[in-house]
Amino acid sequence: MAAPVVLVQGASRGLGLQFCRHILTRRAAAVVIATCRSPEDAAELRVLTAQHAGRITVLRMDVNREDDVRRAAHTVRDTVTRIDLLLNAAATLPAEGGRERRPGGGRLREGETSLRDVTAEGVISTLTTNAVGPLLVGKYFSGLLQKGGGGFGQQPAERARQHSGIMVNITAKVGSIGDNGLGGWYSYRMSKAALNMATRNLSIELGRSRPKVVCVSVHPGTVDTDLSRPYHKNVPKDKLFSAEVSVNHLMSIVDALNMEKTGKAYNWDGTELPW
């Protein structure tokens, strides 16, 4: 069997970067296509590239720009014939007044805790990165996913191949409408709820292909990353995961996926989350 191909969208930091590390160290045969908005600033990705020469390619792709996604997909199609696992990991977290929270951007107060903090600019920016971006990635890379299927998910030997590639969207528990009992965090909740709907839609359309593509949303838990670190003051230490621990849990979920599990959202421990 040919080496599994994994595309990680949003690979320069946080969970995306750790997915790259995990796959390169735990899946000896796998090759990784790591995409991010600014490869020239992705120092840790350059380190991985040096450590795993020939197994990781870093590619520029800003999911806020459809032309960028389209161009990246053309480049990838010229390089590989399939994608076995696609991980949509990039995200933005709104801060006070709807401003965008990015690493190194200074200390900002907790975002959109009430309606007065909401701005149109903040909502649109968050929705674009967290929901529209992954949907566009699905649009332009689905053809390669339909040709994938090696190395990830359950593929019972006694039956015909159940699925081809796997698409995993990183959601958040706060995006669950059924679980929302506190309110606040308007644009972030809305963006992750929209991402969950995109996952559901993708699972239906790509579930009709031959072979079928598995599409799921997964909640990584509360992870100690640059993006969310300012909001951890009330999180118990045993509920705060390192990126490594979170990705270990999420990859266990990926390895257990099959067509019976497509179109759903899962918590880091494998339990199903309500929409």
For the chain, 275 residues long, give each residue's pLDDT as a single digit of tens.
589 999 999 999 999 999 999 999 999 889 999 999 999 999 999 999 999 999 999 999 999 999 999 999 999 999 999 999 999 999 998 764 445 544 444 444 456 778 999 999 999 999 999 999 999 999 999 999 999 987 898 865 544 557 899 999 999 999 999 999 999 999 999 999 999 999 999 999 999 988 899 999 999 999 876 555 555 555 555 668 999 999 999 999 999 999 999 999 999 999 999 98
Please report, as a single letter, which amino acid is at residue 192. K
Residue 184 to residue 117: CA distance in whole angstroms: 10
Structure tokens at 181: 């009992």
Q: What are phi and psi of 233, to 5 degrees?
A: -60, -30
Please tell me the predicted confidence (pLDDT) of residue 209.
80
Domains of the chain: 5-273 (3.40.50.720)
Please tell me the predicted confidence (pLDDT) of residue 37.
96
Burial level of 158, CB count in 10 A (0-12/13-18/19+)? Answer: exposed
DSSP character at residue 4: P
Q: Are 254 and 168 in contact (CB under 8 A)?
A: yes
Please tell me the predicted confidence (pLDDT) of residue 267.
97
Centre a 10 Å sphere on the Cβ of residue 245 and count the other Cβ atoms it contains.
Answer: 16
Pairing of strands 100-101, 93-94: antiparallel
Q: What are phi and psi of 158, to 5 degrees?
A: -80, -5
- At a CB cut-off of 8 Å and minimum separation 6, what does 197 contact? none
Q: What are phi and psi of 109, to 5 degrees?
A: -70, 160
Structure tokens at 202: 């993708």
- pTM score, whole prediction: 0.89
